[in-house]
Amino acid sequence: MAIPRKQQIDSENPGYYHLTSRCVRRSFLCGFDAETGINYEHRRQWIENRILQLADIFAIEVYAYAVMSNHYHLVVYSNPKAPEQWSDLTVAERWLKVFPGKLDKPEFQQQRQLRLQAIVNDKDLLATYRKRLGDISWLMRRLNEPLARLANLEDGCKGHFWESRFTSQALLDESAALACMAYVDLNPIRAGMSESLQNSEHTSIKKRVNTMTAKQLNRAVISMAGNIKTRCLNLKLRDYIELVEWTGKNIVYPNKTVMPSHIQSVLAELNINQSHWLSQIKHYGTNYGRFVGCIHSIKAKVMQLEQQWIQGSKQLQKLFSTV
């Protein structure tokens, strides 16, 4: 049974989400189209840049992303109530960054200041903008719309660039968030576009590997962009990268290596069954529905929604330990 968006995305409480948008007709509108010989690879950089830019405007943190040839994935932490703590001026400034228009140009600085002050002085407008800056649907809208216009302008055409609305998946606990992050980071390897993390273009894992320092490796996993919470994920960055790297190698070269003991320890720490880890990551996209989490989180969500079951429950029991 289909679940309404308002039940998938909690508008009152913070949480992790897996978000996906796909190009219309699933065409290669963001990569190299072998059929036509046209190269759209530069559009993948558009999307990556826009993701990181919006993370510093909306009430979200980006933990993982992968921009593929015809779709992209995001893992975000959202706090819809965070804008309530922002000053009026901060809300107005952020909203003008969401819709900069010509006011972003140096010659329109005076007009920008006037517009900024007009927003600050309008309490009803401020309330509307606060709510939108904490809304995932508005985030995805402002991510997708400008990119569609850019692509259509480049192609000299009109019409849809993205296929219907984005899809969302609630990640009900940190283990679910980390498992989904690994799935997203491994998308290019699963798709046969890359054989290593270092060559997985336009992914958060490549950016992490290329920019990390020795000090950061020994610290907990933090977001790639955005800053709305103080608590980090309960896993060291070194352990996360080693887990993803080992998983990627086993996707490229199946059954070649036994899972090292330190990787087993990482999965045990995440309350994940090591015997099912590889198969669940390989088939993550088809195994799970709109909610992912340990069995206790799923049971709580079933009760909240007053349903009998949630799609993917049997596979989730395989992935997450019951203890």
Domain boundaries, the chain: 10-81+137-319, 83-133
Return d(Cα 187, Cα 282) in angstroms, integer: 9
Written as tens digits, the pLDDT of the chain (323 aa) is: 456 777 778 889 999 999 999 988 667 778 888 778 888 899 999 999 999 999 999 999 999 999 999 999 999 999 999 999 999 999 999 999 998 877 777 787 888 899 999 999 999 999 999 999 999 999 999 999 999 998 888 888 888 889 878 999 999 999 999 999 999 999 999 999 999 999 999 999 999 999 888 888 889 999 999 988 777 888 999 999 999 999 999 999 988 778 999 999 999 989 999 888 998 898 888 888 888 888 888 788 777 777 766 777 788 888 887 54
pLDDT of 303 reads 78
pLDDT of 190 reads 93
pLDDT of 308 reads 66
Return d(Cα 21, Cα 235) in angstroms, integer: 28
pLDDT of 309 reads 67
pLDDT of 289 reads 81
pLDDT of 318 reads 82
Query: Could you tell me if 172 and 297 are in contact, meaning their C-beta atoms sit under 8 angstroms apart?
Result: yes
pLDDT of 323 reads 47
Q: Does domain 10-81+137-319 have CATH number 3.30.70.1290?
A: yes
pLDDT of 212 reads 83
Return d(Cα 34, Cα 186) in angstroms, integer: 23
Return d(Cα 279, Cα 282) in angstroms, integer: 5
Q: Name the residue among 236, 251, 135 with its Cα closest to residue 185.
A: 251
Q: What is the pTM of this model?
A: 0.92
What pairs with residue 62 in β-bridges?
A: 76, 225
